[in-house]
Amino acid sequence: MSSTDDIDALIEMMAKLPGLGPRSARRAVLHLIRKRALLLTPLADVMQTVAATARECLNCGNVGTTDVCDICTSNKRQNGELCVVEDVADLWAMERSGVFKGRYHVLGGTLSALDAVGPEELRIPRLIDRIDAEDVREVILALNATIDGQTTAHYIADQLEGSVTLTTLAQGVPIGGELDYLDDGTITAALRARKPV
């Protein structure tokens, strides 16, 4: 056995992370080894802790270290507003904006006939249960503006029609966006939804 087998294994595992390739994994591992007391040991410890404690919220699908997540149990969040997102990363993005004070429901993906992802796989039945159980008045469909995202949004809208107010995020020019760099679809959407000044 070579004395660098563990280091090679570490590089190989790091290289499989999204956003890292073999070259950046080697750089990262060398950086970690150089500062092993300061970086590698604490990182390994935190990873052990997270591996042991992280779980999905049984209610909304968010990631946390308790069976029901902080947002679901917080009494500072408004009841009655439910924001439906595809993924935990989208929930985090919404939270960074700090503007939404209701609760979330994470689908965990989008409907896809090709990948055999149906409503059961996406926590859609649980969403329908929550609307009664939590007395939800408004469901905000904050799905990605992709074809899969919009297909899923339409399916959910069909299922919930009549029982709650359904809204979706506005489409238009992003803040700081330059028209010249935007695609035709965005410009069309922004023009159709134009507002009086």
Closest distance between a copy of itself and the C-beta of residue 135, in Å? 25
> Closest CB to a copy of itself among 87 and 134?
87
> Closest CB to a copy of itself among 88 and 143?
88
Closest CA to 96 of 108, 85, 107, 111: 85
Q: What's the CA angle centered on 149, arms 173 and 171, to 5 degrees? A: 15
Give the interface with a copy of itself as residue ranges (CB under 8 A). 2-4, 6-7, 9-10, 13-14, 16-20, 24, 26-33, 36, 39-44, 46-51, 53-54, 63-66, 69-70, 87-89, 92
> Closest CB to a copy of itself among 20 and 131?
20
Distance CA 163, CA 138 (A): 9
Closest distance between a copy of itself and the C-beta of residue 128, in Å? 24
Task: Give the C-alpha distances (Å, rounded to integers) separating 109 from 2, 66, 84, 106.
Answer: 42, 22, 11, 8
Closest distance between a copy of itself and the C-beta of residue 163, in Å? 31
> Closest CB to a copy of itself among 103 and 160?
103
Task: Give the C-alpha distances (Å, rounded to integers) separating 85 from 1, 51, 169, 170, 194.
Answer: 47, 24, 11, 15, 26
